[in-house]
Amino acid sequence: MSRYSLQKLPHNFSYFFSINEIKDFEVLAGIRFHSISTGAIKAPEHFEGASRIQSSIRALSISAMEVADGWTFNIYQSGFRSELIPEGLSRELKQHVIEGAIAYIHKIQHAVPTDGLLLPSMWVHVMIIEGKPKISFVENKK
């Protein structure tokens, strides 16, 4: 069974990381994602024109599950309008997200039973406000 479940996006939409960037991320984090999946935008016209403004994106989420020999991790990405992340900020944003995600993965890997982690996950939200990036990492213990 393939670990990839990838959906095609409409024209002018993107995912935060490419498959090659995810593979590089795995090397940096010292893990291999159990599954790499993406969502599809079913009605892209919903985001076009002046009627809707998408000002924040959920760049990705990482979920974990404890298995016999440690933790297994999954990554999921949603699509967003490509224009939301200016070309000049893309590299800086990705580096910051990778650093935060690696810190989260290591935190989970070194958790102890009293941390109360069952099916932990982390969402990464990205906003560009007046040309400056704002990234938030939202952790869920479940």
Q: What is the pLDDT of residue 132?
A: 84
Listed as ranges, residues in the chain with pLDDT below 50 are 51
Domain boundaries, given as residue ranges, for the chain: 4-140
User: What is the phi/psi pair of residue 68, to 5°?
Assistant: -55, -40
| CA–CA gap between residue 118 and residue 103 (Å, rounded) | 18
| CA–CA gap between residue 2 and residue 53 (Å, rounded) | 35
Cβ-proximal residues to 123 (8 Å cutoff; 6+ apart), any chain: 58, 60, 61, 137, 138, 140
Q: Are 30 and 24 in contact (CB under 8 A)?
A: no
pLDDT tens for 111-124 read 988 888 889 999 99
Q: What is the pLDDT of residue 103?
A: 97
